[in-house]
Structure 1
Amino acid sequence: MTAEAIDPPPSHAASRRTELDEQTVPDLDMIGLALLGGPANVIMQLAVPAVGYGVFESKVDSGNLFKVPIKRTRTTLAYLAVAAMGSAEDRRRYRQAVNRAHTRVRSDADSPVKYNAFDPKLQLWVAACLYRGWEDSQRFFGDPSRITEEAYRQGAVMGTTLQMAPEMWPATRADFQKYWTETVEGLEIDDTIRDYLLRIVRMDFMPRPVALAMGWFSETMTIGFLPEEFRDKMGIHPSPMQDRVFQAHNAIARRALRVLPRPLKQFPFNLLLADVRWRMRTGRPLV
């Protein structure tokens, strides 16, 4: 199957996706320190059972965090860089590369839930979590005044860089909040996915010395960034020490970000976008 064959046929939705691909998204500049909230965002994404089991049962070993942690982390962050900061061509080609990997991510007869990585409703949820993560980064580290209707509309690229139809993105920030609240209220995280997520939070995918050294800090940051409703569903809450560490970390980070130049605020996403473009030029795999 060729890359072009994976792309959807021309349609109004495809035309709108092209419009989104072609616009720059300056208001969604990433803040590198927000990477510490990555595991919290993963919990939110995988709390939807079809997403959780899609990742947990995935047969795509080249994208398995526990088998190739560095590669998986790179490709995930590169997707964010392309979606938020890339050109139309960057997004088109990365979409094709992700699509090729996603063709194998689908449930079988033994799966406890049905899922398909091309399901646009699941992609909408993942995009919603990524956008919510950006909003949280502004509240914790950045400037909450940047959370505008225009920035929200631009957030649709988090889904349209995959196969989510632009029309699926809730029309306004208020509509988004309604969708978010209703979805979260109906979520339940079973023991299988909960245990898998806790292994990610504690960095069990890394060599044991790294996990022992950094696991507690990763857990502290994850719980701190995780919205209360997801803490309840996971059954994890910060200890007094973890809460003090989290608050102290954020206070230092906010001061540092006031004086950092923009390229450092965008790091490592700007570096990852450069890597994606280098891979395109040299014919190397993107994912």
Structure 2
Amino acid sequence: MTTTDSHGGEPPLFGPGSQFDEFFNDPRWALAIVRATVLEAAHPQIGAALVDNSTFVAHPWRRLHNTFLSLQRMFGADDAVREREAKRLNRLHARLSGADARDRPYDAMDPHVRAWVVATLFESTVAMCRFSGQPLEQTTMERLYTEFQAYLAALGDQAGHLPPTLQEFWPYFDRMVEELEDTEALRIILYKLFDHLPAPALLEGLPTVWAAGRAVAGPVLGAITVASLPESLRRRAGLPDFPGARTLAQSAYLAMGLARFLPDGWIQADVLAGLLAMSPDSDDPRARTVAAVRDGIKRAGALVRLITPIPAQPETAAPGGGRSAEEFFRTVLDQTGDGYLDWPDLAAMAREVCGRLDLEEPAETMLYNAFAAWWKELQGALDSDGDGRISAEEYAAATPGLAGPALIKLADVLFDATDADGNQSIDADEYRALFRTCFQRDMTDAAGTYSRSAFVKDFLSFTAGRRPSRAYDPLFAQA
């Protein structure tokens, strides 16, 4: 079922013809999303939830791809897809609660918190037009605001969590900005993420080239973002005010806005986000094209190393090569990037699998429960100092004995979730749903399918952490 025009010729709230649809593939929106994320991170509850649970530091490109996919589903024309995505988001948010370093509780289902997330997206979209010298007309803003209100309503939130009119929104936004803080999450985004942004999967073979570009782009992106924030937040958080930064921000928005005049189809936000998250081993033709370009750049890497002060970094290990327990801990297990393994890391793995397979209840809960049981098994076996989490040293000291009953059970549950038709084997379509790449023929049995025993064996081999996996590394390890 699709959204239809039921308001006497008024534009639809979702899908083609909506105001949001016109902005979705606007390249300026990339900067607006970053700005909105910083405004969210400065909210005490959201900032605490991000630090405790989010993978945005260790896996930013995967997070970007998933965010664009979710927005595409929620703002698309299909009502059934939107309802399904809203239920998924609500289940995800219901699992995110806790307390910050000052023992203040946070809950991702708090309606006022959810309203602030939507408010930052709307206000940052308006701001991007203002910064690029093309401020929205009043009627356009009102239409866009109505669409974001409908987005919040689609999540099941009652009216009133956002002001009912655009005129009332701006005092609300100003009041909320005054309640924002200099949170740890805000600092991580501005001063760690931009400066240490990992390379997307397709460029992992060019560490020196990536580092050289990041050394220039990271600080510039940080300065643009800071300059675009409300002045009161910048002052309260003690953010630097570089001379000319606001002019730089306006120039960046204006320059990116010029890309809107490229031929239709050249700029597709979801396609670009998917490309950045794509594995180098993907059978997608775009991956092969990028890989060919990457190989050409790689041959020029020696010259880049000669003219830059950035030290050379080790190349990614080739498939089939060994890796240390510490590397497996850092790239696979520590999903949040905080240097420790605890439940949020394994919950992030569960979220990624559930998202790829588009699981609904009860399969989603079964998978989460299996990951939770594995976490308890790991904690009981490896948490030698009893601090409730596992360090890289604790993990490395006990890696050989990790294949316990809970992990084996997890492998079985993961197989059942992937085996969508329940015929006790994984075919090419089911394989692609999980791994986003072609069927690996070397994994198949005599019948040409991926059997339960082979799947469980490969998963346990991967979790042993000693050798890279062409299948599982893109699922759990890539940024």
Same fold (TM over 0.5): yes
How far off its partner does 1:109 sit? Answer: 8.8
1:137 aligns with 2:132: no
Distance 1:163 1:114, change over 3 A: farther
224-233 or 102-111, which deviates more: 102-111
Measure, in 2, the Cα distance between the counterparts of 1:279 and 1:139.
Answer: 39
Higher fraction of helix = 1
CA RMSD of aligned residues (A): 3.5
1:33 aligns with 2:35: no
How far off its partner does 1:162 sit? Answer: 3.2
TM-score by length of 2: 0.47
Give the aligned residue type for 1:76: T
How far off its partner does 1:230 sit? Answer: 2.4
How far off its partner does 1:261 sit? Answer: 4.5
Give the counterpart of 2:41 among 46, 61, 68: 46
Structure 1 residues without counterparts, runs of 5 or longer:
1-20
Distance 1:148 1:198, change over 3 A: closer
Corresponding residue number in structure 1 for 2:152: 159
Distance 1:70 1:197, change over 3 A: closer
Measure, in 1, the Cα distance between the counterparts of 2:271 and 2:55.
Answer: 24
Distance 1:248 1:108, change over 3 A: closer
How far off its partner does 1:202 sit? Answer: 2.1
Give the counterpart of 2:180 among 175, 183, 187: 187
TM-score by length of 1: 0.74
Give the counterpart of 1:120 among 108, 111, 114: 111
Structure 2 residues without counterparts, runs of 5 or longer:
1-11, 200-206, 278-355, 359-419, 421-428, 435-474
Secondary structure at the counterpart of residue 155 of structure 1 = helix
Superposition pairs for residues 90-109 of structure 1, below 5 Å?
90-108=81-99
Secondary structure at the counterpart of residue 76 of structure 1 = helix
Q: Could you report, residue by residue, the CA deviation over 1:195-219 in whole angstroms, capped at 9, with x for unpaired residues?
A: 3232355243425816424211211
Distance 1:108 1:227, change over 3 A: closer
Distance 1:163 1:67, change over 3 A: farther
Contact 1:65–1:205, Cα closer than 8 Å, also in 2:
no
How far off its partner does 1:263 sit? Answer: 4.2
Corresponding residue number in structure 2 for 1:198: 190
Measure, in 2, the Cα distance between the counterparts of 1:203 and 1:82.
Answer: 31
224-233 or 196-205, which deviates more: 196-205
Corresponding residue number in structure 2 for 1:72: 63
Give the counterpart of 1:260 among 249, 254, 262: 262
Structure having greater relative contact order (Cα 8 Å, sep ≥ 6): 1
Distance 1:170 1:156, change over 3 A: same
How far off its partner does 1:243 sit? Answer: 4.0
Secondary structure at the counterpart of residue 250 of structure 1 = helix
Measure, in 2, the Cα distance between the counterparts of 1:49 and 1:117.
Answer: 12
Contact 2:28–2:253, Cα closer than 8 Å, also in 1:
no
How far off its partner does 1:161 sit? Answer: 4.2
Superposition pairs for residues 79-94 of structure 1, below 5 Å?
79-94=70-85
How far off its partner does 1:110 sit? Answer: 6.6
Distance 1:65 1:144, change over 3 A: same
Measure, in 1, the Cα distance between the counterparts of 2:185 and 2:162.
Answer: 27
Distance 1:163 1:221, change over 3 A: farther
Q: Could you report, residue by residue, the CA deviation over 1:165-193 in whole angstroms, capped at 9, with x for unpaired residues?
A: 24433111111112112222233324x34
